[in-house]
Structure 1
Amino acid sequence: MVTPSATSANVSLLQYVSVITLMLSILTASYCTSVEAKPKSSTAFVKKTISSHSVVIFSKSYCPYCRRAKAVFKELKQEPYVVELDERDDGGKIQDALSKIVGRRTVPQVFINGKHLGGSDDTVEAYGNGELAKLLGIDSVGEDEL
């Protein structure tokens, strides 16, 4: 025969096990979510950004060379995807990744259709000789010196 105290002990044990199981489920779910939400490496970010946009400029908002490179695309009526490194918490890490990818740490670094064009001087030169328009698949615009 089951005594009332034995039944009460079994219920308490079941409640305890249920609470522990629930807590483990919550901990596991929160761990999995935080692992998935963890940002990818800076190198992966750079590569994904380059492959996702036809024109990418890694820039710093205050840099005159970056402004000059961005002005070339404005002249060509092209809208580049611009990553302003100085406005991001991970800007330094992205710049380090760029250095590993292209061999330069300077900005701007310009990419057209997934290929590295170079910095400001390279961009202005490609604009001046018509190569940039060819890369972009557009007609050349007046080539005034920037």
Structure 2
Amino acid sequence: MGSSTSNLATSSSPNAMSSKISQLVDSTIDENFVTVFSKSWCPYCRRAKNLLNSLELPEGKNIQVLELDLRDDGSQIQSYLARKTGQTTVPNIFINREHIGGSDDLVDLHKSGKLVKLLNQ
């Protein structure tokens, strides 16, 4: 009987939650050309989203934004992203599955002309 209780506890353990979070994050990055992990109130996030939205993406390529402050699992997503990328802040941006960094990194890519090239891959 004790092992049955242990199995129930294991299914709702932090490891099970962590696995769901990693699957969510990784599949979102894999399934979208541009993924932005953001917070709705963040001025740096707003700047990055505005820049991305001002550029024309090739047909069939999309931008997916996850507003972490509007999700119940937002803090777990941000923790997972910190482990995955080493970046603890938002926005946390991926283009074509590649971690770009944050808002300043995105702006620097744009100023150098490399952002348009990345978006047209």
TM-score normalized with structure 2 length: 0.78
Q: Which residue identity is paired with 2:118?
A: L
Q: 1:89 Cα shift?
A: 0.2
**Higher normalized contact order (CA 8 Å, seq sep 6+, divided by chain length):** 2
In the other structure, the counterpart of 2:119 is: 136
CA distance, structure 1, for counterparts of residue 26 and residue 110 of structure 2: 24
CA distance, structure 2, for counterparts of residue 104 and residue 116 of structure 1: 10
Q: 1:77 Cα shift?
A: 3.0
| Percent of aligned pairs with the same amino acid | 46
**Structure 2 stretches of 5 or more lacking a match?**
1-11
In the other structure, the counterpart of 2:36 is: 57
In the other structure, the counterpart of 1:81 is: 64
CA distance, structure 2, for counterparts of residue 124 and residue 58 of structure 1: 16
1:70 aligns with 2:53: no
In the other structure, the counterpart of 2:80 is: 97
In the other structure, the counterpart of 2:104 is: 121
Q: Secondary structure at the match of 1:41?
A: helix
Runs of at least 4 residues off by over 6 Å:
none
Q: 1:52 Cα shift?
A: 0.5
Contact 2:87–2:101 (8 Å) recurs in 1:
no
CA distance, structure 1, for counterparts of residue 23 and residue 88 of structure 2: 17
**Structure 1 stretches of 5 or more lacking a match?**
1-34, 139-146
Query: What is the aligned-residue RMSD (CA, Å)?
Result: 2.1
CA distance, structure 2, for counterparts of residue 67 and residue 75 of structure 1: 12
Q: How many residues were matched structurally? A: 104
Q: 1:104 Cα shift?
A: 1.3
